[in-house]
Amino acid sequence: MREQEIIYESLLNRFRNTLPAPRDPEILTQSIRSKIERITDGTYRQKRRKMRMFSLVSGIAASLLLCLLLHDMGMYRNIGENKPSVRRETTVFKTNNYLKNNTIDEIIKEKTAILHRKESLSLLIQKRHK
């Protein structure tokens, strides 16, 4: 067992110390030269310039969308202020007008009629499910 470990370690050391030999050095040099020519050529720079422009435009679009989202959130909730929101002001205004135009008896009749309709609908739904 000990002999096998020694042989194994010697093989590993031999593999670690030897450099890999290229299979076809001419093809390797041609590919290196072609890559260098492509980098020094104008097409590589044009691609990089296009990518920079694309990233700039997409960054501007993302920040614009973020600003619109924050603005939309601020329209309905005034963040950090004690003022009531736009929605609350309109509902308070509608409620005040409703109370001014209708008497208490009319409001009670309307609400009981709505409750009666809800109860009758719930009874119909229960009958259908049975």
Q: What is the pTM of this model?
A: 0.32
- For the stretch 26-54, pLDDT in tens is 888 888 888 877 777 777 777 888 899 99
Q: What tokens appear for 67 in the block?
A: 């600003």
Contacts of 78 (CB under 8 A, 6+ apart): 84, 85
Rg, C-alpha atoms of the chain = 39
- For the stretch 82-126, pLDDT in tens is 555 555 556 655 666 666 667 777 777 887 888 888 888 787 777
Residue 114 is inside which H or E element, if any? helix 104-129
